[in-house]
Amino acid sequence: MLFGAVGAADAGASYWLSMRHIDELLDQHLQGAAVWLSAGKVGTIGTKGPPQHSVDGFVGQIWQQGLSAPTDNTDPEVTFNRDVASGFSVERINGHRYRIYTLRNAADDFTYQVGQPLAFREQTAGRAALESLIPTFFLMLLVWIAIPLVVNAAFASLKRAGADAEKVGIGRLTPLDISHVPEEVRPFADSINRMIARLQVGIEGEKRFIADAAHELRTPLAALQLRIDNLENAPDAIARAERLRELREAIVRAATMIRQLLELARADAQCVPGAAIEVLDIQEMVRTLVADLLPVAIARSIDLGVQRFDSSHVNANAGEVRMALRNLVENALQYTPAGGCVDIDVFEDEMGVVVRITDTGPGIPKEVIDRVFDRFFRLNATAVGGSGLGLSIVKAVVAKHAGSISFENRSDGRSGLVATIVLPSSAPGNVRERSGEKLSS
């Protein structure tokens, strides 16, 4: 449709331009004939002599001042108006319209006029214009036939790639063969292969996660079964009460692992439009968190508190950020021995909102510090409980909110660990101003 419209517009423009050029060319012939008349070459006007009624050629006339009839006229049946202005004009004579060129020679008092029937001019120009369209029509026909052939030949490999794409699925994530795909669509085909590669990595990761989760869940489920068997075989009420307590602890551990698995699945989910993103006051969130965990710290004889505590705000999901901070603080309380302390710093700098948690625990050996975010990895599984999912959840939440998290052992001469979370500030333009006010106060 578009090609047809463009072709029709091109043909129309070509026809109009051809008509105009032929008309200009015939005007030049009229003007040249008048010049020939003024040079005395009357016999050169017309085709095969004076035309009958001048319907298919020139009519030339010479007028002398003071005379009422032309001194020379190639067609006696046609008489032009000698008083028209010099140059081109149009007259109707004997039922025919003529295009006339008038030339006056002031030196010899003669007027020279050459005319041509407009019907002849229009017929000549129309025929020439139509003949000029013949190559255009043949070209349009050729292109109309060639386009499907060329397109089918060029995109045959793309059709094969499309057929291969139809076979892509969970069980078959093979990249498409794009070696013969046209260059114009090569970037699109490459993006599809990159998407397939990302899907393959993600699916492989989920498979490993499911396998690891199934393996890890077998232990608490087996422990539950063992506790139930022990409870059934309890010899007396005291033993039954002790084994009931052990059963409850095993249920709590299994429930905790399942809860963390669900939290990790939610944290791994990508942000979507319409998600519950809001401006969070991190200072207030940490204050509430400390109040919630203070009884746990007191029960373990751990000093839990804050040091630098500036007002800081981020755009994030409140539940996920609260969960990540709680996991970090609980992790610090879990590994810090009695009599130790856990300090929390909240402030903003040029990097964003920083939450730093410093404990006096044993720290992490350098050779495994990069593995603490691996799922189900536990540094000291025999001495400290847990599922090994807490830090994985924290990392997933931080990455989801375009932040960063890092662990490093203390370097101030004391044992312990420093966990640092950095999240983008909700007001980056005011970071320096607020920091400056805080430092100067």
CATH number of the domain residue 313 falls in: 3.30.565.10
Query: What percent of the chain stands above pLDDT 90?
Result: 8
Judged against a pLDDT cut of 50, whether residue 430 lies above it is answered with no
Summary mean pLDDT of the chain: 76
CB atoms within 10 A of CB 220: 19
Q: Which pair of tokens denotes residue 192?
A: 């599809």
Domain limit, last residue, from 208, 240, 268: 268
Residue 238 identity (one-letter amino acid): I
The answer on 251 and 107 residing in a single domain is: no
143 located within any domain: no
Judged against a pLDDT cut of 90, whether residue 322 lies above it is answered with no
CA–chain centroid gap for 263, Å, is 32
The answer on 286 and 251 residing in a single domain is: no
- Per the structure, how many domains does the chain have? 3
Query: What percent of the chain stands above pLDDT 70?
Result: 74
Judged against a pLDDT cut of 50, whether residue 347 lies above it is answered with yes
CATH number of the structural domain spanning residue 33 = 3.30.450
CA–chain centroid gap for 185, Å, is 15
The answer on 301 and 264 residing in a single domain is: no
pTM surpassing 0.85? no
The answer on 375 and 320 residing in a single domain is: yes
HEC letters along the chain: CHHHHHHHHHHHHHHHHHHHHHHHHHHHHHHHHHHHHHCCCHHHCCCCCCCHHHCCCCEEEEEECCCCCCCEECCCCCCCCCCCCCEEEEEEECCEEEEEEEEEECCCCEEEEEEEEHHHHHHHHHHHHHHHHHHHHHHHHHHHHHHHHHHHHHCHHHHHHHHHHHCCECCECCCCCCCCCCHHHHHHHHHHHHHHHHHHHHHHHHHHHHHHHHHHHHHHHHHHHHHHHHHHCCCCHHHHHHHHHHHHHHHHHHHHHHHHHHHHHHHHCCCCCCCCCEEEEHHHHHHHHHHHHHHHHHHCCCEEEEEEECCCEEEECHHHHHHHHHHHHHHHHHHCCCCCEEEEEEEEECCEEEEEEEECCCCCCCCCHHHCCCCCCCCCCCCCCCCCCHHHHHHHHHHHCCCEEEEEECCCCCCCEEEEEEECECCHHHHHHHHHHHHHC
The answer on 207 and 327 residing in a single domain is: no
Average pLDDT over residues 194-223: 70
Quote the pLDDT of residue 98. 86
CATH number of the structural domain spanning residue 262 = 1.10.287.130
Cα 84 to Cα 69, 88, 98, 153, 207, distances in angstroms: 15, 9, 13, 66, 98
The answer on 429 and 285 residing in a single domain is: yes
Rounded Cα distance, 419 and 425, in Å: 19
161 located within any domain: no
Quote the pLDDT of residue 240. 82
Q: How confident is the model at residue 49 (pLDDT cuts 50, 70, 90)?
A: very low
The answer on 102 and 84 residing in a single domain is: yes
Q: Which of 236-245, 315-324, 356-365, 373-382 has the highest mean pLDDT?
A: 356-365
What confidence tens digit (pLDDT) does each residue in 392-405 have? 778 888 888 888 98
Quote the pLDDT of residue 261. 66
**Edge-to-edge, what's the strand order for the sheet holding 341-349?**
303-309, 341-349, 352-359, 417-423, 404-409
Average pLDDT over residues 411-425: 89
The answer on 298 and 264 residing in a single domain is: no
Rounded Cα distance, 360 and 409, in Å: 10
Quote the pLDDT of residue 284. 92
Domain limit, last residue, from 217, 242, 268: 268
Q: How confident is the model at residue 340 (pLDDT cuts 50, 70, 90)?
A: very high
Exposure string for 27-58, b = 16+ CB within 10 A, e = fewer: eeebeebbebbbeeebeebbeeebbeebebbb
Query: Lowest-confidence range among 146-150, 254-258, 286-290, 387-391?
Result: 387-391
The answer on 221 and 102 residing in a single domain is: no
Quote the pLDDT of residue 241. 86
The answer on 359 and 329 residing in a single domain is: yes
CB atoms within 10 A of CB 340: 21
148 located within any domain: no
Domain limit, last residue, from 268, 295, 314: 268
The answer on 232 and 260 residing in a single domain is: yes
Rounded Cα distance, 163 and 183, in Å: 19
The answer on 81 and 15 residing in a single domain is: yes
273 located within any domain: no
Residue 243 structural domain: 183-268
Quote the pLDDT of residue 438. 33
Rounded Cα distance, 69 and 104, in Å: 16
235 located within any domain: yes
